[in-house]
Amino acid sequence: MKGAPITVTKNNIEDGKAIAVIVNSGNANTCAPGGIEMAQWTCQLAADAIGAQAKDIIVCSTGVIGEPLDKEPFKAGIGPVTEALSYDGGHAAAEAIMTTDTVPKECAVEFELGGKICRLGAIAKGSGMINPNMATMLSFITTDAAISPEMLQKALSEDIKDTYNQISVDGDTSTNDTVAVMANGLAGNDEITEDGEDFFIFRQALNAVTTVLAKKLAADGEGASKLIECIVSGTADKETARKISKSVISSDLLKAAMFGEDANWGRVLCAIGYTDAEFDADDIQVVMSSEKGSVKVCEHSALSPYSEDEAAVVLSAKEIQIAVHMNQGDGSAAAWGCDLTYDYVQINGDYRS
């Protein structure tokens, strides 16, 4: 089940090219009357405003599902928005796409390719309905590096396996998830068209930005008071580590325990146990850490004696790390989530009103 903007955008970018993004917040244009036509009309409106073609526009919407999307705000707003376009407009855009987010999310880096200084930056939004599978999650990434559409797609497809697809706020995958990356080549480097050192450097820059934003998305989960990072090591392969870490930070029981500052490590092992992967569960170590200290709570898949009072202090911090060692290989991965609070229920109990 996907929003109309997803369908229209996928058609528009079949040739690997786009020139602009138009996005609205508040209404997802999903399961709504005339949704496809509305998304197509929005592309044409944006194209006309900037002198482009509708097929070169990425269109995104985020917000309530099932409500008709009104044309009037677009008609009234496209002029002022177009006039306000600038190289310094990233922060305003990051604020504009927020829904239940409490803070804008943005990050940028500089890097060098063939003696040319390149830049890559991104904005993102998402606070609830976050469990990406590429929630309501949007991220727009731009770079002035020269890179072919094929290599750009390859870089993004590989990167999100370890970044955006490794976060979860509530386990709900959205109808409108979109991550778009656009490159204009203005940095003047030799175009990246194949694997090599330049592509490796580009991927490092992309990963630096998306990792920061993935953490920001998880930390700003609806009602959240803590960021939870699970780092899994010692698996037979990387994919198993990805699945285990994602399973741990997605556990509602664990998220509730972290909110209560309760080192209930049994919930970690439970989440490991129902992970859809093959592994031995007999020699697992679990350590919970924060800026306030560290406590080993599990050794050899059994209790490692610890002080509950000390553990409560460790878990009182705003950022908590759960380190899981499986003792079965060299695979490792991380995932990010947040605690489950009373406020999450309150926000989503009256989301539409």
pLDDT in tens, 154-188: 999 999 999 999 998 776 666 788 899 999 999 99
Please tell me whether residues 198 and 233 are part of one structural domain. Answer: no
Neighbouring-strand partners of residue 235: 331
Q: What is the per-residue pLDDT for 135?
A: 47
| Structure-token pair, residue 338 | 């947040």
Please tell me whether residues 181 and 280 are part of one structural domain. Answer: no
CATH number at residue 248: 3.10.20.340
Residue 162 domain boundaries:
4-219
- What's the whole-number mean pLDDT along residues 219-224? 86
pLDDT in tens, 132-148: 554 468 999 999 999 99
Q: What is the per-residue pLDDT for 176?
A: 81
Asked if residue 169 lies in contact with residue 47, where contact means CB atoms within 8 angstroms, the answer is no
CATH number at residue 84: 3.60.70.12
Please tell me whether residues 196 and 235 are part of one structural domain. Answer: no
Please tell me whether residues 125 and 183 are part of one structural domain. Answer: yes
* Domain end among 167, 190, 219: 219
Q: What is the per-residue pLDDT for 119?
A: 98
Please tell me whether residues 207 and 267 are part of one structural domain. Answer: no
% residues pLDDT > 90 (the chain)? 83
pLDDT at 127 over 70: no
pLDDT in tens, 248-269: 999 999 999 999 999 999 999 9
Please tell me whether residues 167 and 235 are part of one structural domain. Answer: no
Q: What is the per-residue pLDDT for 134?
A: 43
Q: What is the per-residue pLDDT for 344?
A: 84
Please tell me whether residues 188 and 337 are part of one structural domain. Answer: no
pLDDT in tens, 187-216: 999 999 999 999 999 999 999 999 999 999
Please tell me whether residues 9 and 74 are part of one structural domain. Answer: yes
pLDDT in tens, 73-116: 999 999 999 999 998 999 999 999 988 888 999 999 999 999 99
pLDDT at 150 over 50: yes
Q: What is the per-residue pLDDT for 214?
A: 93
Give the pLDDT band of residue 128 (cuts 50, 70, 90). Answer: low
Please tell me whether residues 38 and 114 are part of one structural domain. Answer: yes
Number of structural domains (the chain) is 2
Q: Which residues form the catalytic set? A: 136
Please tell me whether residues 191 and 276 are part of one structural domain. Answer: no
Asked if residue 62 lies in contact with residue 136, where contact means CB atoms within 8 angstroms, the answer is yes
Task: Determine phi and psi for 335, rounding to 5 degrees.
Answer: -145, 160
* Domain end among 183, 203, 219: 219
Give the pLDDT band of residue 276 (cuts 50, 70, 90). Answer: very high
Please tell me whether residues 199 and 282 are part of one structural domain. Answer: no
pLDDT in tens, 316-352: 999 999 999 999 999 999 999 999 998 888 877 876 6
Please tell me whether residues 276 and 131 are part of one structural domain. Answer: no
* Domain end among 219, 244, 275: 219
